[in-house]
């Protein structure tokens, strides 16, 4: 790994730590009146999720820029010029290291084995991108999935502030979360794996070596399994919220109709 990438990883780690411990408390107390009433454990996760949202937006939109305008990696997805991708991956690696430290320090309240597996699998695969500059297109394609993260975090913010699940903003965010999560993590799987299989047996693929090949394929399989599990949970939660809201509307409509019928009967009797 070159000094530039190491500097970006370290700078990313420090920046996200400062955002967590300094910027987030000040910003949150200004924009959210309910923030100050949260217990300490929830305050920690609040700051963690705000940092997560910032990281997701920065990296996600950078990914789209690279995908649309970086001709080098689109022309050669295995060995194309990785400079921009390595910069984006270094930012993400710094974030993942920061988040692993945060999880370890607050395991009793924030510990999640799925997230640890996700972070370790990502770091394992991204390590090859940073050290050897390989697979830039595929690394960048994977990072687009971060665009679903702000919606996931926003759901938690609503829950922390005790918004009812039937609240319009909660329902809209839930639908958007399920839709975006599906688009950037599930719907792209066929296209992604088609691109992967297209490299098999080529000179570029053989040039990677067994270590990079195994790291690439195994980490992708692990991440897709986790994404599928999370998609199932999100879809089930979204379905329950929508059905609950629809059921309440039907009930309210029936009550209004029943009340109207009673008034009609009363008026007719009179």
Question: Does the residue 266 lie in any domain?
Answer: no
pLDDT by residue (tens digit) across 213-256? 888 898 889 889 989 998 999 888 888 877 765 555 544 444 44
Question: Does the residue 263 lie in any domain?
Answer: no
Q: Which residue has the higher pLDDT, 52 or 268?
A: 52
Tell me which residue of 235, 243, 152, 125 sits closest to 187, measured CA to CA. 235
Question: Does the residue 267 lie in any domain?
Answer: no
Question: Does the residue 269 lie in any domain?
Answer: no
| CB contact at 8 A, 103 and 112 | yes
Range of the domain at 190: 3-255
Query: Whole-model pTM?
Result: 0.84
Residue 248: per-residue pLDDT: 55
Question: Does the residue 52 lie in any domain?
Answer: yes
Question: Does the residue 66 lie in any domain?
Answer: yes
- Total domains present in the chain: 1
CA dist 230 and 152 (Å) reads 11
Indicate if the pLDDT at residue 102 is higher than 80: yes
Residue 197: enclosing H or E segment and its boundaries?
helix 189-199
Question: Does the residue 270 lie in any domain?
Answer: no
Tell me which residue of 43, 20, 44, 13 sits closest to 107, measured CA to CA. 44
Residue 95: per-residue pLDDT: 97
């Amino acid at each position: 790994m070159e000094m530039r990438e190491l500097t970006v990883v370290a700078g990313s780690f420090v920046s996200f730590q400062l955002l967590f411990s300094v910027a987030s408390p000040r910003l949150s107390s200004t924009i959210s009146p309910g923030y100050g009433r949260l217990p300490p454990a929830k305050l920690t996760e609040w700051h963690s999720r705000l940092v997560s949202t910032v990281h997701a937006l920065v990296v996600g939109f950078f990914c789209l820029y690279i995908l649309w305008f970086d001709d080098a990696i689109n022309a050669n997805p295995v060995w194309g010029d990785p400079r921009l991708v390595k910069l984006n991956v270094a930012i993400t690696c710094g974030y993942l290291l920061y988040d692993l430290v945060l999880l370890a320090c607050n395991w009793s309240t924030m510990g999640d084995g799925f997230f640890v597996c996700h972070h370790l699998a990502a770091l394992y695969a991204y390590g090859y991108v940073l050290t050897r500059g390989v697979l830039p297109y595929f690394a960048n394609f994977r990072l687009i999935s971060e665009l679903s993260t702000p919606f996931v975090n926003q759901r938690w913010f609503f829950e922390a502030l005790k918004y009812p699940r039937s609240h319009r903003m909660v329902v809209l965010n839930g639908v958007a979360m399920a839709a975006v999560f599906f688009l950037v993590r599930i719907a792209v799987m066929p296209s992604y794996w088609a691109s992967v299989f297209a490299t098999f047996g080529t000179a570029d693929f053989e040039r990677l070596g067994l270590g990079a090949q195994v790291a690439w394929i195994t980490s992708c399989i692990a991440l897709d399994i986790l994404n599928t599990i999370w998609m199932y949970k999100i879809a089930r939660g979204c379905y329950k919220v929508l059905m609950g809201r629809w059921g309440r509307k039907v009930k309210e409509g029936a009550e209004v109709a029943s009340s109207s019928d009673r008034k009609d009967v009363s008026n007719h009797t009179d």
